[in-house]
Protein backbone atom coordinates (compact mmCIF):
# COMPACT_ATOMS: atom_id res chain seq x y z
CA UNK A 1 0.00 0.00 0.00
CA UNK A 2 1.19 3.50 -0.83
CA UNK A 3 -0.46 6.68 0.43
CA UNK A 4 0.13 10.12 -1.06
CA UNK A 5 -0.87 13.17 0.97
CA UNK A 6 -1.45 16.59 -0.57
CA UNK A 7 -1.18 15.12 -4.07
CA UNK A 8 -1.67 18.33 -6.04
CA UNK A 9 1.18 20.33 -4.47
CA UNK A 10 3.56 17.43 -3.72
CA UNK A 11 3.29 15.38 -6.94
CA UNK A 12 2.10 17.94 -9.48
CA UNK A 13 3.23 21.28 -8.05
CA UNK A 14 -0.34 22.64 -8.25
CA UNK A 15 -1.56 24.83 -5.40
CA UNK A 16 -5.06 25.72 -6.59
CA UNK A 17 -6.79 23.27 -8.89
CA UNK A 18 -8.41 19.92 -9.28
CA UNK A 19 -9.17 17.13 -11.69
CA UNK A 20 -8.65 13.43 -12.08
CA UNK A 21 -5.47 11.43 -11.63
CA UNK A 22 -4.71 8.64 -14.08
CA UNK A 23 -2.91 5.57 -12.74
CA UNK A 24 -1.57 2.92 -15.10
CA UNK A 25 0.41 -0.31 -14.81
CA UNK A 26 2.63 -1.97 -17.40
CA UNK A 27 0.88 -5.34 -16.95
CA UNK A 28 -2.54 -6.52 -15.83
CA UNK A 29 -2.88 -5.80 -12.14
CA UNK A 30 -5.36 -5.79 -9.27
CA UNK A 31 -4.52 -2.15 -8.53
CA UNK A 32 -7.02 -0.37 -6.26
CA UNK A 33 -7.02 3.42 -6.07
CA UNK A 34 -9.13 5.75 -3.93
CA UNK A 35 -9.07 9.41 -3.04
CA UNK A 36 -10.32 11.72 -0.36
CA UNK A 37 -10.77 15.37 -1.13
CA UNK A 38 -11.02 17.75 1.80
CA UNK A 39 -10.69 21.31 2.98
CA UNK A 40 -9.82 22.81 6.34
CA UNK A 41 -12.49 24.57 8.39
CA UNK A 42 -11.96 27.63 10.60
CA UNK A 43 -10.90 25.39 13.54
CA UNK A 44 -8.27 23.52 11.44
CA UNK A 45 -10.54 20.47 11.21
CA UNK A 46 -11.34 18.93 7.84
CA UNK A 47 -14.47 18.26 5.85
CA UNK A 48 -14.58 16.38 2.59
CA UNK A 49 -15.52 13.18 0.85
CA UNK A 50 -14.17 9.83 -0.22
CA UNK A 51 -14.17 9.18 -3.97
CA UNK A 52 -13.44 5.67 -5.26
CA UNK A 53 -11.25 5.10 -8.28
CA UNK A 54 -12.86 3.76 -11.46
CA UNK A 55 -11.43 1.70 -14.28
CA UNK A 56 -12.31 2.12 -17.97
CA UNK A 57 -14.45 -1.03 -17.83
CA UNK A 58 -16.60 0.64 -15.16
CA UNK A 59 -17.38 3.57 -17.45
CA UNK A 60 -19.83 3.73 -20.33
CA UNK A 61 -19.27 4.25 -24.03
CA UNK A 62 -21.45 5.07 -27.02
CA UNK A 63 -24.36 2.61 -27.21
CA UNK A 64 -24.08 1.56 -23.56
CA UNK A 65 -26.88 1.96 -21.04
CA UNK A 66 -26.75 5.52 -19.60
CA UNK A 67 -25.56 6.26 -16.07
CA UNK A 68 -28.10 7.48 -13.51
CA UNK A 69 -27.31 9.81 -10.60
CA UNK A 70 -30.14 9.90 -8.08
CA UNK A 71 -31.48 12.03 -5.23
CA UNK A 72 -29.96 15.37 -6.17
CA UNK A 73 -31.16 18.66 -4.75
CA UNK A 74 -31.02 22.41 -5.32
CA UNK A 75 -32.53 24.39 -2.45
CA UNK A 76 -31.62 26.89 0.24
CA UNK A 77 -30.19 23.96 2.25
CA UNK A 78 -28.36 21.93 -0.42
CA UNK A 79 -26.80 22.18 -3.87
CA UNK A 80 -25.56 19.51 -6.27
CA UNK A 81 -22.35 19.43 -8.31
CA UNK A 82 -21.69 16.79 -10.98
CA UNK A 83 -18.31 15.51 -12.13
CA UNK A 84 -17.65 13.55 -15.31
CA UNK A 85 -14.39 12.16 -16.61
CA UNK A 86 -13.18 10.38 -19.72
CA UNK A 87 -11.37 7.16 -18.75
CA UNK A 88 -9.56 5.80 -21.83
CA UNK A 89 -7.68 8.66 -23.48
CA UNK A 90 -10.29 9.04 -26.22
CA UNK A 91 -12.75 11.85 -26.98
CA UNK A 92 -16.43 11.40 -26.08
CA UNK A 93 -19.64 13.23 -26.90
CA UNK A 94 -21.84 13.33 -23.80
CA UNK A 95 -25.45 14.24 -23.10
CA UNK A 96 -26.39 15.14 -19.53
CA UNK A 97 -30.12 15.26 -18.81
CA UNK A 98 -31.48 16.75 -15.57
CA UNK A 99 -34.87 15.28 -14.70
CA UNK A 100 -36.97 16.77 -11.87
CA UNK A 101 -38.93 14.42 -9.58
CA UNK A 102 -42.14 15.17 -11.52
CA UNK A 103 -40.33 14.33 -14.79
CA UNK A 104 -41.96 17.22 -16.66
CA UNK A 105 -39.29 19.72 -17.71
CA UNK A 106 -35.96 18.07 -18.36
CA UNK A 107 -32.91 20.21 -19.09
CA UNK A 108 -30.14 18.94 -21.36
CA UNK A 109 -26.44 19.78 -21.42
CA UNK A 110 -24.71 18.64 -24.62
CA UNK A 111 -20.95 18.14 -24.81
CA UNK A 112 -19.96 17.40 -28.41
CA UNK A 113 -17.95 18.63 -31.37
CA UNK A 114 -21.00 20.32 -32.90
CA UNK A 115 -21.16 22.59 -29.82
CA UNK A 116 -17.35 22.85 -29.61
CA UNK A 117 -17.21 21.34 -26.13
CA UNK A 118 -16.76 17.54 -26.46
CA UNK A 119 -15.20 15.77 -23.49
CA UNK A 120 -11.51 15.47 -24.39
CA UNK A 121 -9.26 12.45 -23.75
CA UNK A 122 -8.75 11.94 -19.97
CA UNK A 123 -10.59 15.19 -19.24
CA UNK A 124 -12.40 15.80 -15.95
CA UNK A 125 -15.19 18.36 -15.89
CA UNK A 126 -17.18 19.57 -12.90
CA UNK A 127 -20.55 21.28 -13.16
CA UNK A 128 -21.11 23.36 -10.02
CA UNK A 129 -24.73 23.96 -8.98
CA UNK A 130 -25.79 22.03 -12.07
CA UNK A 131 -29.54 22.32 -11.41
CA UNK A 132 -29.39 26.06 -10.78
CA UNK A 133 -27.20 26.50 -13.87
CA UNK A 134 -29.77 24.73 -16.04
CA UNK A 135 -32.98 26.08 -14.51
CA UNK A 136 -31.88 29.54 -13.37
CA UNK A 137 -31.10 31.33 -10.13
CA UNK A 138 -33.58 30.57 -7.39
CA UNK A 139 -34.48 27.16 -8.81
CA UNK A 140 -35.69 24.74 -6.15
CA UNK A 141 -35.60 21.03 -6.93
CA UNK A 142 -35.75 17.96 -4.73
CA UNK A 143 -35.07 14.31 -5.61
CA UNK A 144 -33.82 15.18 -9.09
CA UNK A 145 -32.16 12.59 -11.32
CA UNK A 146 -29.35 13.12 -13.81
CA UNK A 147 -28.79 10.82 -16.77
CA UNK A 148 -25.33 10.73 -18.37
CA UNK A 149 -25.11 9.21 -21.84
CA UNK A 150 -22.20 8.86 -24.29
CA UNK A 151 -23.63 9.77 -27.69
CA UNK A 152 -20.49 9.55 -29.82
CA UNK A 153 -16.74 9.13 -29.93
CA UNK A 154 -14.72 6.19 -28.67
CA UNK A 155 -14.20 7.42 -25.11
CA UNK A 156 -15.62 5.86 -21.96
CA UNK A 157 -17.09 8.06 -19.26
CA UNK A 158 -17.73 7.89 -15.54
CA UNK A 159 -19.75 10.33 -13.44
CA UNK A 160 -20.69 11.18 -9.87
CA UNK A 161 -22.37 13.94 -7.91
CA UNK A 162 -21.65 15.76 -4.69
CA UNK A 163 -24.60 17.09 -2.74
CA UNK A 164 -23.29 19.89 -0.53
CA UNK A 165 -24.83 21.30 2.62
CA UNK A 166 -24.92 25.06 1.99
CA UNK A 167 -24.23 25.87 5.66
CA UNK A 168 -21.37 23.52 6.55
CA UNK A 169 -20.18 22.80 2.98
CA UNK A 170 -20.11 19.10 3.95
CA UNK A 171 -20.42 17.05 0.74
CA UNK A 172 -22.10 13.68 0.23
CA UNK A 173 -20.74 11.52 -2.59
CA UNK A 174 -23.41 10.13 -4.93
CA UNK A 175 -22.09 7.53 -7.40
CA UNK A 176 -23.55 7.14 -10.87
CA UNK A 177 -25.27 3.81 -11.32
d(CA 125, CA 83): 6
* DSSP state letter for 131: H
**Residue 174: partners with Cβ closer than 8 Å, 6 or more residues away:** 69, 70, 71, 72, 80, 160, 161, 162, 163
d(CA 154, CA 170): 35
pTM: 0.84
> Pick the residue with more confidence: 27 or 160?
160
141-153 and 157-165: which strand pairing? unpaired
Per-residue confidence band for 40, with pLDDT thresholds at 50, 70 and 90? confident
Q: Which domains does the chain have, with CATH numbers?
A: 7-175 (2.60.120)
Amino acid sequence: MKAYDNVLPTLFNVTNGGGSVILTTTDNSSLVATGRTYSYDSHNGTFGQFIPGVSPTQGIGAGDKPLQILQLEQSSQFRSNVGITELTGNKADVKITIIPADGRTSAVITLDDAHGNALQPNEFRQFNRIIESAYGSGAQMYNARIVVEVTGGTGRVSAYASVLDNSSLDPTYVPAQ
